[in-house]
Structure 1
């Protein structure tokens, strides 16, 4: 970091201007890569880079409005400059909360470098020249693999990575429970991967840090996987030590299930329901029927009604077979960890028998319709077919898209703008499915599982 820096104040919030020199994956770049990155950062990529960088620099913010940080720091800017065949990053009027005694917090700096690294990789390696490859399922999986490898996430170690899903807006009791589960996982040598935000994404990491310290684990991994539309609403929590930004929600979800050796779901809201439906749709495929994948839904006693609603909704829409793919454990962190550890041992045995890698689940079959980005326009949301009689994995795919569109309308800037401009999304389907969907979403609101700035206004309207 350059010693020359200036301080100013925008409104009542202090800001800092400085320059930093990235280390690691960003200090070994060709001149061509540097030039292309610089061109991208001053062109169409600049606004995206600015928004993601600002999200990292405001880690710990209580707001989940993606426009809040931009309104608080309207003069913030970030520029990528060439320097000795490497990079120099200029921060202009950056939030002072990211600095201590004038120095950028080291963990924040690492996450900032990850933002530049991943957006550069996406712009350069997944640009227009790769459009043909990205029309195939194998090409999309290779793209996910390339992003994770470039981020140095893939490590040929023993299977031990647990993905934790759950809401960023949870109460104190549920948050403490996620910490307790993380602690039990950490005692058993398991690492944590989450969506990188607060709440149920931070708790397991926080609990695991104590357990890892007790077990003297030298290099524990706390992986955060996000995407540009979410990071501004769910800034990375400070425990994340490996961050990767996927280009869209579909590649983010595929990264979770390809990386993780098991998944634990804590109470959450619409985004959590979307993740559950995505995984169930994949596991219900005949090609994945024999593939071991420990999948546990858990929370404290007070969260039991939440999981009862989720379970009822899944049984109504996808059937008993879908419900057989997960286990619900209430108020027992130790049992959760033991069951997960046992399940991961089966994953290890299966991968060895199938000659599959430990660090990337190549054997999992993910069809193209689950990989192609879903753009939640009003027309696309209205075209979803939420009806009985469809193949469960196909219905799961459309249910996942419905929840994805609702997430967009609630917390993603482009989705919020569409709803403001054209009114609520209209979602069509069979009456009992529509009633169950509406009841589930209203329950999320009543239980305060949708942390929305101001009064909650539904971004959807169900039509039976």
Structure 2
């Protein structure tokens, strides 16, 4: 690519929006200190990812190389923080003005990266304690104004890959449309593919039903935002500190989950949810969980189902339902599940907007750092307790995601070589087959990219 052909806007200043207009002078001073210091580079990268929203590139380093002169500066004002950009991607502007939705997302980045970092200095949360982690997740979502008291429990989380084909993408739109017609709202990882499709479909369903307050919540994290930059339909963006808090936000905020075809990131999410729902302490808590795709993707879900049953036992398959090529049936089943969620929460006086009752084991809450040592020490053996093995398998997939698209993981692989994943031979055979299937189906990277594995499966006797 000829970087000389890339168009930029030389200079632009935008005024604060939303919660970033309601700041004390003390909060502004703290934000200026951290925003010009340790978190500035992270803030810059996340801003660039949002401004670069239309690009089909999941390589954070490539995006930074494309706009080496891009920068953002915080400007203190009595009415909140203003932002000044230099050499910003021109695609984020119309007639010299930043697109409104992108502007909202930029201030979400300011809130979740700079403001939250400044708040840590005065925060009482101990993030070594599971209870405090959950309260911290709640606080981030509250600051983002995601919690809305009194709304029906109808927020459907949709998981799936950003590297899906056209048929699969159309199916995610069809499901979203059917959900939207029935008054459901959508929460996804905020990116393209299976994260954009349901929102796009639901927006049409909402328009037909004259629902003018559609909720399209996007939950992301700093290390993956370049790979899954917010799609233009997201109207409430939240950047969680890491994947574990992002996943906890999904299951506590959402009222049911639909899983579309994806790759290792989707497998990670599935195992995370199974680790929670299989916990005896969560028995009796309704949580609709449906895996679905077009008939062309049936093999993908059969492979996932086979792997889960082999690794964790047939009984865990009772936690989910697989529906192939029937978008309307998916919506009908999900909305029926949401009715059960409402009844349960009403009877037990549980809030509609945040599921405090769900128990999440600390093994799923504490961040997994994908170093080579940690990846090699996961102990993938079927004689371990179900919850522990599910958590370790989740971590294995999380490490592969990091090696594929996250800056830390990519740097680890460049420096030390591929990750090694150790475990018992039979389980590793199944894992190896599943990962090879993902590669053959081109589910590891965006279409057009030639995938180079960042992992090696080591089969122990």
On the 8 A contact 2:43/2:114 being kept in 1, the answer is no
Which of 382, 389, 394 is matched with 2:388 structurally? 394
Deviates more, 1:33-42 or 1:264-273: 33-42
2:218 paired with 1:238: no
- In structure 1, what is the equivalent of residue 335 of structure 2? 341
Alignment of 1:441-456 (within 5 A): 441-451=435-445, 454-456=449-451
Alignment of 1:300-311 (within 5 A): 300-311=294-305
2:430 paired with 1:463: no
- In structure 1, what is the equivalent of residue 195 of structure 2? 201
On the 8 A contact 1:34/1:85 being kept in 2, the answer is no
- In structure 1, what is the equivalent of residue 251 of structure 2? 257
- In structure 1, what is the equivalent of residue 171 of structure 2? 177
Deviation of the 1:239 alpha carbon:
0.4
Taking the aligned partners of 1:339 and 1:129, their CA distance within structure 2 comes to: 42
On the 8 A contact 1:254/1:371 being kept in 2, the answer is yes
Deviations 1:104-145 (A, max 9, x none): 0000000001000111342023348656x1111110000000
On the 8 A contact 2:25/2:78 being kept in 1, the answer is no
2:50 paired with 1:94: no
2:410 paired with 1:416: yes
- In structure 1, what is the equivalent of residue 139 of structure 2? 146
2:401 paired with 1:407: yes
Taking the aligned partners of 2:123 and 2:112, their CA distance within structure 1 comes to: 18
Unaligned runs of 5+ in 2: none
2:112 paired with 1:118: yes
Secondary structure at 1:357 match in 2: coil
Deviations 1:145-197 (A, max 9, x none): 00000000001211010000000010110000000000000000000000000
- In structure 2, what is the equivalent of residue 4 of structure 1? none
Taking the aligned partners of 1:194 and 1:88, their CA distance within structure 2 comes to: 29
Secondary structure at 1:120 match in 2: helix
Deviates more, 1:181-190 or 1:79-88: 79-88
Deviates more, 1:385-394 or 1:304-313: 385-394
Alignment of 1:47-446 (within 5 A): 47-127=41-121, 130=124, 133-156=126-149, 157-446=151-440
Taking the aligned partners of 2:115 and 2:400, their CA distance within structure 1 comes to: 29
Deviation of the 1:450 alpha carbon:
1.3
Taking the aligned partners of 1:221 and 1:350, their CA distance within structure 2 comes to: 23
Taking the aligned partners of 1:205 and 1:164, their CA distance within structure 2 comes to: 9
TM-score (norm 2): 0.97
Secondary structure at 2:224 match in 1: helix
Secondary structure at 1:11 match in 2: helix
Deviations 1:65-100 (A, max 9, x none): 111211111100011110125211011110000000
Deviation of the 1:454 alpha carbon:
4.3
Change in 2 beyond 3 A, CA 1:102/1:360: same
2:33 paired with 1:32: no
On the 8 A contact 1:198/1:234 being kept in 2, the answer is yes
Secondary structure at 2:158 match in 1: strand
Unaligned runs of 5+ in 1: 1-8
Deviation of the 1:456 alpha carbon:
1.4
Give the aligned length: 455
Taking the aligned partners of 2:439 and 2:121, their CA distance within structure 1 comes to: 39
Taking the aligned partners of 1:368 and 1:129, their CA distance within structure 2 comes to: 21
On the 8 A contact 1:315/1:323 being kept in 2, the answer is yes
Change in 2 beyond 3 A, CA 1:416/1:387: same
Query: Superposition RMSD on alpha carbons, in Å?
Result: 1.3
